[in-house]
Amino acid sequence: MLMDGLNPIAVQFFDPSFLKPNFVKIAWGPEFEGEGRENRMREMRDIVGRVGRDHVILSRVDSEDAVKWGLQIGVTRFQGRFIDRLVEAMAAQAKA
């Protein structure tokens, strides 16, 4: 089972680890930045710990900042436009 679109608001009311999903996708967004950032990081770090870091994907990654944030909470799997551009650049470099 894949749980998609998890965000800081959802984890205030629901702990996805209770359903024992194969993967949980946390949708990166502006709500992870700015005021209250530390509390949101702590909440998401707890979720990653309960679900298991190998079962969490940070999706909608559109910047290096999103990757850094994900790494800080223990995420090792990423998806999004920024990641697509990195993979394309690596593939182009490998061909050269």
Q: What is the pLDDT of residues 17-73, one digit of tens each?
A: 888 999 999 999 888 877 777 888 888 899 899 999 999 999 999 999 999 999 999
Is pLDDT at 10 greater than 90 in this prediction?
no
**Nearest 5°: phi and psi at 7?**
-145, 175
Q: What is the pTM of this model?
A: 0.87
Region 72-89 average pLDDT: 95
Domain count, the chain: 1
Provide the domain limits for residue 80. Answer: 2-95
Confidence at residue 85, expressed as pLDDT on a 0 to 100 scale: 96
Integer Cα distance of 26 and 19 in angstroms: 15
CB 28 within 8 A of CB 7: no
Tokens describing residue 43: 């909440």
pLDDT for 14 equals 83
Rg (CA), the chain: 14
